[in-house]
Amino acid sequence: MRDRPGSTVRAKVHVVDDGQERVRRDTLATEEPLELRLLAGGDRRTLAVTMRTPGHDFELAAGFLHGEGVVASPEDIRRISYCTDVDVEQQYNIVNVTLDELPDLPGLDRHFATTSACGVCGKESLEALKIRGCPVLGSGPSVDAETVYGLPDALRKAQGLFESTGGLHAAGLFGADGSLVCVREDVGRHNAVDKLIGWALMSGRLPLSDHVLMVSGRTSYEIMQKALAAGIPVVCAVSAPSSLAVSLAEEFGMTLVGFLRNRRFNIYAGAERVKLPALAGPR
């Protein structure tokens, strides 16, 4: 059995600076595969394989399953464990999730892989979310613009692994007042969100109807889908949203903020939740 992988590794690099070369050690973010298996009775299915940064693997598994509609509460999961089969070399890269029964989902009829960049493909239609019963979100919190301005810096300061590697995405959960509740990091944006929502699921905190999700990259349909399933009404990102992310936000009553940087942001949907400062004079 191999050693359990860490979240970072050390590597030798040749640094070239203005024509001068020197050799030093550098810290890299670890990227390794994680196979997610579902177990029930005597049945076992591989649901997904994703490239991730080791750490909080059980939260990643729980958050992924919640976002895909496989589980709705902690009680739906009987057990989460690493694979302990003696004939498996990479035991810490396989997570077994034991359920009462395997769900009847089309995704279980095939083995599919995800990458740390693209998330899970397959649910390309908003109708799929309606069929799952995802509701339009309620009014949710009102967030002051000054609070929104401060989210990127607060997230960045909480990124311990990014500080040492410079190569990780982050997802942060904040209160409506800007207080940081939890942060998770990963080489994949979607994995970071899954870890965060998995933490909330296993802590019995869902739905997160009074919270704000802040992500370090762009906002895709998959990220909005995961936020919707967790009941998060406000999603902010430092970069751009995709067209389908905006459509999902509009369809399900979510607030979507993009290009949040340098005291500037765009509101693509749900502007009523963002409190702007009163104008000094007539418009």
Is 121 a known active-site residue?
no
Q: How far is CA 166 from CA 54, 128, 142, 186, in A?
A: 16, 36, 33, 11
Q: Which member of 83, 118, 121, 182 is catalytic?
A: 118
Annotated binding site: 259-264
Length of the chain: 283
* φ/ψ (deg, to 5) at 183: -140, 145
Q: Give Dmax (Cα) for the chain.
A: 74
> Annotated active-site positions, please?
118
